[in-house]
């Protein structure tokens, strides 16, 4: 049992390690565990131990055969000072292949410099730091984390005909840790600016995130050999501003505004996309919001509606989240995904 548990943990923590290397390390751990338990509390000389760990049909299995010579107590009265004992046992476990996917909607208007700086500061160590923080909250490491960054400003200010030149800037999903340099390269040049009025195009960013190329259960990601058993699609929103409610006429007047086939024109249509199983896994989806969804300045905010959707949670304040981004993100994930299943 110790050997197959070790194989599962080592394989999850080191997804690029060969199975033979995983098996060798697991065998050493299992052999040490067995020897320690055989010798603890009894007078025994442990002889041959044969322990093998193998991977087949998606499961790790182990088999152990051992022999030992054990000193006796009551049997010594009959002239038997020692007896030979032997045993054999087997165990197996089928590890899950869970994938954490995050589409991060980051408000990049002028007041958001601290958050953009926090994203930059954490870019290179994002995968390791996030898994470490999740481990501290009782959630085992994800073998694969995919992150997509979407920066948003405003398609239409309160003044008709005025809008930001770059209302949406988005990357594709990047697999971590293998694409950490690409992740850092996309993050580094982004600067805060624009957003002349208070309310921004947050819902357009949310829609872009929903439309992400989420992985599906059963798919085999590039570079891996096993199919995914669980997908955890997470949309993370960082903003200090309310969002225009759909439809917003000044945004619709922008020639760059997405067509109706891409961007819903009503809040109900946007909610329908959130609930569309064809777009993302509905079992484990989450919206994690950093900021205050109840902020209203001069008009209703779309966040007041989105916060009523299923699987929406406030992860913390924007200021706290920016100051300790990875820690706050891990806390938000662990609080929102209490049913996380990493093995089956």
* Residue 287: strand pairing partners: 235, 312
pLDDT in tens, 281-297: 998 899 999 999 999 88
CB 95 within 8 A of CB 103: no
pLDDT over 80 at 266, yes or no: yes
Which has more pLDDT, 343 or 10? 10
For position 239, what pLDDT does the model report? 94
Which residue from 238, 164, 176, 179 is spatially nearest to 206, judged by alpha carbons?
Answer: 238
For position 341, what pLDDT does the model report? 43
Residue 80, burial from CB neighbour count under 10 angstroms (0-12, 13-18, 19+)? exposed
- Summarize the confidence of residues 116-130 as an average pLDDT: 90
Among all chains, which residue has been given the structure tokens 């994690």?
Answer: 288
> What is the percent of the chain with per-residue pLDDT over 70, rounded to a whole number?
90
A 10 A CB-CB count for 79 gives 7
For position 323, what pLDDT does the model report? 86
Q: At 344, is the pLDDT very low, low, confident or very high (cuts 50, 70, 90)?
A: very low
Furthest-apart CA atoms within the chain: distance in Å: 103
For position 306, what pLDDT does the model report? 97
- Summarize the confidence of residues 91-114 as an average pLDDT: 88
Range with the poorest average pLDDT among 85-99, 134-148, 165-179, 196-210: 85-99
For position 75, what pLDDT does the model report? 60
Tokens matching residue 207:
């829609």
Tokens matching residue 3:
């050997």
Which residue from 57, 56, 50 is spatially nearest to 27, judged by alpha carbons?
Answer: 50
For position 342, what pLDDT does the model report? 39
For position 101, what pLDDT does the model report? 95
pLDDT in tens, 212-231: 999 999 999 988 888 898 89
How far apart CA 329 and CA 321 sit, in angstroms, is 7
- Summarize the confidence of residues 102-123 as an average pLDDT: 91
Which has more pLDDT, 158 or 78? 158
Residue 210 vs residues 150, 175, 207, 237, 331: alpha-carbon distances, Å: 11, 18, 5, 12, 22
Q: Which residues contact 36 (CB under 8 A, 6 or more apart)?
A: none
What's the mean per-residue pLDDT of the chain? 87
Beta strand pairing call for 168-170 and 144-152: antiparallel
pLDDT over 60 at 192, yes or no: yes
For position 76, what pLDDT does the model report? 63
For position 58, what pLDDT does the model report? 67
- Local structure of residue 226 (DSSP, 8 states): S
Domain ranges of the chain: 2-93, 98-336
CATH of 98-336, one of 3.40.50.410, 3.50.50.60, 2.30.110.20, 3.30.450.40: 3.40.50.410
CB 45 within 8 A of CB 53: no
Which has more pLDDT, 48 or 190? 190
pLDDT in tens, 134-185: 888 878 788 899 999 999 999 998 888 889 989 999 999 999 989 999 999 9
DSSP reduced 3-state for 142:
coil
Which residue from 254, 126, 214 is spatially nearest to 178, judged by alpha carbons?
Answer: 126
Apex CA 77: angle with CA 73 and CA 80, to 5°? 75
């Amino acid at each position: 049992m110790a050997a197959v548990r070790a194989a599962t943990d080592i394989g999850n923590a080191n997804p690029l390690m060969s199975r033979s290397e995983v098996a060798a390390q697991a065998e050493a751990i299992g052999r040490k565990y067995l020897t320690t338990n055989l010798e603890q509390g009894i007078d025994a000389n442990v002889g041959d131990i044969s322990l093998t760990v193998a991977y087949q049909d998606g499961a790790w299995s182990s088999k152990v055969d051992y022999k030992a010579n054990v000193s006796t107590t009551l049997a010594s009265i009959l002239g038997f000072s020692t007896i030979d004992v032997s045993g054999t046992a087997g165990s197996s476990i089928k590890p899950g292949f869970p994938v954490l996917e995050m589409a991060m909607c980051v408000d990049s208007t002028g007041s958001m410099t601290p958050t953009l700086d926090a994203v930059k500061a954490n870019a290179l160590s994002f995968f390791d730091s996030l898994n470490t923080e999740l481990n501290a909250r009782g959630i085992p490491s994800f073998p694969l984390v995919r992150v997509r960054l979407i920066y948003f400003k405003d398609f239409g200010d309160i003044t008709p005909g005025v809008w930001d030149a770059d209302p949406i800037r988005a990357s594709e999903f990047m697999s971590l840790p293998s694409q950490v340099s690409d992740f850092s390269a996309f993050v580094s040049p982004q600067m805060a600016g624009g957003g002349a009025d208070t309310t921004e195009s947050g819902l357009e960013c949310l829609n872009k995130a929903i439309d992400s190329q989420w992985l599906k259960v059963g798919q085999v990601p590039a570079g891996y050999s096993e199919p995914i058993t669980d997908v955890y699609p997470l949309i993370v929103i960082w903003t200090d501003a309310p969002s225009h409610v759909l439809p917003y006429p000044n945004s619709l007047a922008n020639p760059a505004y997405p067509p109706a086939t891409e961007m819903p024109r009503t809040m109900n249509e946007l909610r329908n996309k959130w609930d569309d199983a064809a777009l993302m896994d509905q079992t484990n989806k989450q919206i994690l919001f950093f900021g205050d969804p109840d902020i209203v300045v001069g008009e209703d905010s779309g966040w007041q509606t989105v916060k009523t959707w299923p699987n929406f949670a406030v992860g913390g304040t924007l200021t706290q989240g920016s100051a300790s981004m990875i820690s706050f993100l891990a806390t938000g994930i662990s609080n929102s995904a209490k049913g996380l299943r990493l093995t089956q």
